[in-house]
Amino acid sequence: MRRSMRSILTVTAAAALLLPLCGVSAAYASPPGHSDADKSALRNQAPRDLAIGSAVWGQKQLMAYDPAAPTEYQQVLGAQFSSLTPENDMKWDAVHPAPDVYDFASADALVAYAKANHQQVRGHTLLWHSQNPAWVTEASKTWTCDQARDVLEDHIRTVVGHFKGEIYEWDVANEIFQDTWDNGGVKLRTEANPFFKACSDDPVALLEDAFRWAHDADPDAVLFLNDYNAEGINEKTDAYYALAQRMLADGTPLGGFGAQAHLSLQYGFDTTLQANFERFAALGLQVAVTEADVRIPLLEGETGPTPEQVATQAERYDGLLQACLNVKACSSFTVWGFPDANSWVPDVFPGEGWATIFEDDYSPKPAFDAMLESLHDATPGTSPRR
């Protein structure tokens, strides 16, 4: 790679945030053990080998973290979850806003909070067609494949290297296949993804190199493919399965497959998630539910869902979790943020909402209760399927 001299703006909040934990109550400061000290905490009831996570915005929710006086949100986040995923803080537009500038301030705040609360961090994401900064969108219009490779390699090595040893799973490639209903059916997003477009003659070669660069930068991180509408066995997951087979045959350091699990009560529940996970696990990969939420269509003028909708939402969250618990290789289960006020759903899906497992006053919903019971029933350290 042709590496040019560049200035890296690394505004790090970590040192300031890693304050002594003596001021925090035991419920929030204790490591993610599996005693019965707090039976109302998801992280305490989960099997030892399953991380229970939430998406979070470091910039919005963790930059002003004071362990001696955490906000209510920070208390719940630390008490309930053993893993954090940056919802936006590690995406291209956040960490690489200009060609010669890297800004890790908000991502560092998230990592520092996680350390202080004995949590792991999932990295998200390194190669995606969306949320790229304007300079990538503009420059990519004239990129050669070599130029695209240089930019992507520099980004991956810099970002993964910055967090070396602090990220246990990375979503290296996100949403690289389009859906069956898109023009042309399931295929790689060679038009929407600027890097694939520049290397359209062989985008998989670029994809495989992305995994190799990430592995070089942090050999201990497990590297994932991640997508939506990838829960059950369908044309998209068939494409991912074939891709995973090719990547593994080529010696690519692919380590996992992630199903986002953004669900809606408008549609049925795909009961083949477990079977889908099992076939990827048979390839030697870890699997994960990476972005779970279950949105509810809300009638105009109504402030909340019906009791029937609430019950169905709980069943679907628990169905996702049960599929994970039933597959030995399932390493993490992540909900996509909380409470509803922080959810992305109403902005993207008008008329739908109430998608998370916590009310806006942080009281748990029936979906939370169903998950807690299933985690409690799983055997600590092994879970039922092992």
Q: Is 175 tagged catalytic? A: yes
Query: How many whole angstroms separate alpha carbon 134 and alpha carbon 132?
Result: 7
State the virtual CA torsion across 160, 162, 168, 170 in degrees, nearest 10: -30
How many Cβ atoms from other residues are within 10 Å of residue 59's Cβ?
17
3-state SS class at 272: coil
- Annotated catalytic residue, options 87, 166, 175, 278: 175
Residue of 95, 42, 34 whose CA lies nearest to 379? 34
d(CA 139, CA 132): 11
Burial (CB < 10 A; 0-12, 13-18, 19+), residue 194, is buried
Q: In whole angstroms, give the CA distance from residue 6 to residue 200.
A: 28
Six-digit token pair at 158? 């810099």
How many CB atoms are closer than 10 A to CB 221? 23
231 is catalytic: no
Q: Residue 123 pairs with which residues in a beta bridge?
A: 170
- SS3 letters across 219-234: CCCEEEEEECCCCCCC
β-strands 352-353, 83-86 pairing = unpaired
**8 A C-beta contact, residue 49 and residue 2:** no
Hey, is 295 helix, strand or coil? strand
> What pairing do the DSSP bridges indicate for beta strands 352-353 and 286-297?
antiparallel
Residue 216: count of CB within 10 angstroms of its CB = 14
Q: Are the C-beta atoms of 89 and 138 separated by less than 8 Å?
A: no
Helix (H) or strand (E) holding 370: helix 366-377
Q: Which are the catalytic amino acids?
A: 175, 291
